[in-house]
Amino acid sequence: MAHLRSFRPGDEPALAEICLRTADTGSDATGILDDDDIWAAVFVLPYVARHPELAVVVETDDGRVAGYAVATDDTDAFEEWFLSEWWPRFAQRWPKPVGEPATRQDSVLAYAYGRRPGAEPFAESFPAHLHIDLLPDVQGQGWGRRLIAALLERLRAAEVRGVHLVAAGTNAGAIAFYARLGFTRLDAPADVAAFGMLL
């Protein structure tokens, strides 16, 4: 039977695959960018590199990792680390786009290059933030709720006062899911659905 467990070194390729297969508003993003590896380098791998203790995975009965929740307990400190230590290692592989983003890849890279302390408006009231993704074969079975609960327990143990997350404004399933879990909708641009929870 599937179960939750803590992230372990060596899980990174599975997490990268899950990120890719859910990156297009919950759907498979394979081939959308010129380089599929960008998704994980921006949205999941830095979290397990910096905060392995704030990463929980769903492992199936055949030993596959099929979902994850990852977090940072201090968004501004994380964004400073992302800017100064994590992202520079990719500058040669994925140079900063010039001018206004012309492609989806340009937009994702522009986001990565723009990450910095103070850029996230929700971090003051809700200093932690998280990302969660599940492969389709484990969706609709309560694993998302369990992942969030496990992560919130770890954040509370770290005495974090609040957590936020952001989803695409068009992702109706995610919006309904976070509301059911007790997250409060935050003011955000129309194309973004932001949620916060005080801990």
One-letter amino acid for residue 46 of the chain: P
Q: Give the sheet arrangement for strand 55-59, strand by strand.
A: 3-6, 55-59, 65-72, 128-134, 162-168, 192-198, 184-186
**What would the mean pLDDT of 126-138 be, rounded to a whole number?**
96
- How far apart CA 144 and CA 133 sit, in angstroms, is 8
Q: Distance of alpha carbon 27 from its chain centroid, rounded?
A: 15
Collapsing DSSP to helix, strand or coil, 187 comes out as coil
Task: Report the DSSP pairing between strands 162-168 and 128-134.
Answer: parallel
- What residues does each domain of the chain span? 3-160
Task: Please report, for residues 59, 87, 97, 145, the alpha-carbon distance to residue 92 in angstroms, rounded to integers and kept in the order given.
Answer: 35, 10, 12, 39
What is the separation of C-alpha 171 from the centre of its chain, rounded to a whole number of angstroms? 15
Per-residue pLDDT reduced to its tens digit, 111-122: 999 999 999 889
Q: What is the CATH number of domain 3-160?
A: 3.40.630.30
Q: How much of the chain, in percent, has pLDDT values that exceed 70?
A: 100
Model pLDDT for residues 28-73, shown as the tens digit of each residue: 999 999 999 999 999 999 999 999 999 999 999 999 999 999 999 9
